[in-house]
Structure 1
C-alpha cells in the first residue's frame, strides 16, 4: 500500500517529453480492457493526445510517484447531462500494473472527483469495458453505479458528486 505522505503528485502531461509513455499507457489500457492490442491505433491515440493537450490540459495529467511517471488521467468537466446539470467525463484512469492495488488508484480517483466537483460538476461518468472486472469492482466500491445497458462502447457508469453525496466539503 502507498503510505500517506509519500511523494505522489499530479502534473499536466508534457507531450514533447512523454508522448511515448502516453502511447504505452494507452496500449496497455487497450490490452487490459480487451485482452489484446488488436485494433489499437497509435496514430489515433497521438491525435487524441494532441487534442487533449491543446483543448483540456488541466484534464490530461500524469501521476508521478517517487520521481517517476506511473499513471495517466484523462477527464473533462464540460458535459451537459440529461438533467441539465454539469457533468464530468473520465476517459482514462490508468496506473502501471505494479501500482494497481497499491492505494495510488484511490488517490488518483479522489483527485479527479475533487477536480470535477470544484468545476461545479454534479455527476461524473465513464465507460468500463465488460470483462474488466477489476476496474468495475473499483468503481462500484467508490460509489459508481451502472446506468443503462452495456453497448459496444462499454458500460456507462455514473457517480453523484454533489458535496452531500460524495462527502466533499464545499
Structure 2
C-alpha cells in the first residue's frame, strides 16, 4: 500500500469511503436510521470544497492498494481545532480529523501508514504534539491508536450535532 495527496478528482471516492466506513464502523454506536440515510452523493460537495483549497489538499492523504489506483482509505489532518490548543499555548498542536479505511482493507497496515504519513506532515509543519477524537465505546479503534503510541489525555466531549449523543475521548501523542 502507498499514499499520495488527495486531489479534487478524489472527492467522489472519498465520499464513498467516508460513508461506507461509517456504516460499517459505527453500527451499534449510531442509530441504524442515520447510517441507512448516509449517501455518498451528499458528502461529495463537502469533499470537493475541502479539496479545492490548497491547504485542504495538503491535509488529506489517500491510501492506494498495492494493485490499484482507486483510493481505499484516507486521513484528514491539520492544526488542532480545539481552542485549548490555540495560539498562546506555546506549543504547535496538530490534529487527525478523520481516518477511514474500507473494511475489506482494514488490518493490512494501511491505517498505520496513513497515520504515520499524517504525523510526518504535521511534524514538518512545526507541530510538536498531535491529538484525535475517538468514540468512547469504540474499543477496536482505541486499541489501534494505543498500539501506535496514542494515549487518552483526559479531555472528553459529547457531540449532539447529528440529533443523538456521541461521547468522545481525546487521544494525544508527541511527534518526533
Same structural fold, with TM-score higher than 0.5 when normalized by the shorter chain: yes
TM-score (norm 1): 0.77
Deviations along 1:64-118, one digit per CA (max 9) or x if unpaired, are 1222322111111366726331111111111111221112222222111111111
For residues 156 and 96 of structure 1, the distance between their equivalents in structure 2, rounded to whole angstroms, comes to 23
Q: Distance in 2 between matches of 1:41 and 1:98?
A: 19
Counterpart among 7, 15, 30 of residue 22 in structure 2: 30
> Normalised by the size of structure 2, how large is the TM-score?
0.74
Q: Deviations over 1:120-157 (max 9, x none)?
A: 10111111112222111011111111123432232111
After TM superposition, the runs of 4+ consecutive aligned structure 1 residues lying more than 6 A away are none
Q: In 1, Cα distance between the equivalents of 2:23 and 2:134?
A: 13
Aligned-partner SS, 1:23: helix
Equivalent position SS for 1:30: helix
Residue 43 of structure 1: how far off its partner (Å): 6.6
Structure 1, unaligned runs of 5 or more: 1-7, 164-170
Judge conservation of contact 2:78–2:94 (CA < 8 Å) in 1.
Answer: yes
SS of residue in 2 equivalent to 1:91: strand
How many matched pairs?
154
- SS of match in other structure, 2:121: helix
Q: Which residue of 2 aligns with 1:73?
A: 75
Supply the RMSD in Å over aligned alpha carbons. 2.4
Change (3 A) 1:159 1:39: farther
How many angstroms apart in 2 are the aligned matches of 1:101 and 1:49? 25
